[in-house]
Amino acid sequence: MPRQQEKSFIILGHRITPEVVREVIQKASAVQWGTHLLRWRYFDVTHEGITYHRGALIPAGLWHLLKRIYVDQDWPAETTLEKLNEDARLTIQHPDTQIYVYGYYRTAPPRLQWGFLNPETGIAVIYDMEANLIATVFKPEEGEAFFLRQIGTVKINRKEWGV
């Protein structure tokens, strides 16, 4: 169970307050992906009339869209990047979305990340506060457990914090 905190705590050297949470929600809602290219390591796919071959370098947002459609099969084939971004924005801004802040265990040193999980849709958004970018949008099979296995996870109580 994630720890519930007072209206201020420190994680990975960052002080988290209701004001910080509101700022993160605002920044994350812009749904900015990294400008870097990622290598497509799966099978060839054709999306919106373009074929992406295994090994191709493609923009980060598109890479995540293709993975969610063709590998995870969590979004329908006709989903566009704009639609995925809108799903992310709606998830981040929805008042029932759960918010988690944690250290991401797969980076050294751990990076401060924010997780937004809408329990109704199952959509999760990961926002990297340090990079000011969306790290991914997905539907974790394990739901909240995905966030609980990260480093020092704290679940923000939106109602108590007024966020």
State mean pLDDT over 102-127: 93
Residue 4 has pLDDT above 80, yes or no: no
Residue 68 has pLDDT above 80, yes or no: yes
Its pTM stands at 0.92
For 39-65, the pLDDT digits (tens) are 999 999 999 999 999 999 999 999 999
Residue 6's pLDDT band (cuts 50, 70, 90): low
Could you tell me which residues come within 8 angstroms of residue 35 by beta carbon, excluding any fewer than 6 positions away? Answer: 59, 60
Residue 5 has pLDDT above 80, yes or no: no
Q: What is the DSSP string of 35-48?
A: SSEEE--S--EEET
Sort 36 into a burial class: Cβ within 10 Å, 0-12 / 13-18 / 19+: exposed
For 82-107, the pLDDT digits (tens) are 999 999 999 999 999 999 999 988 88
pLDDT at position 107 is: 81
157 residue type, one letter: N
Buried b / exposed e along 95-107 (16+ C-beta atoms within 10 A):
eebbbbbbbbeee
Q: Which is nearest to 48 in space by CA: 72, 71, 73, 82?
A: 82
What is the CB neighbour count within 10 angstroms for residue 158? 16
State mean pLDDT over 125-145: 96
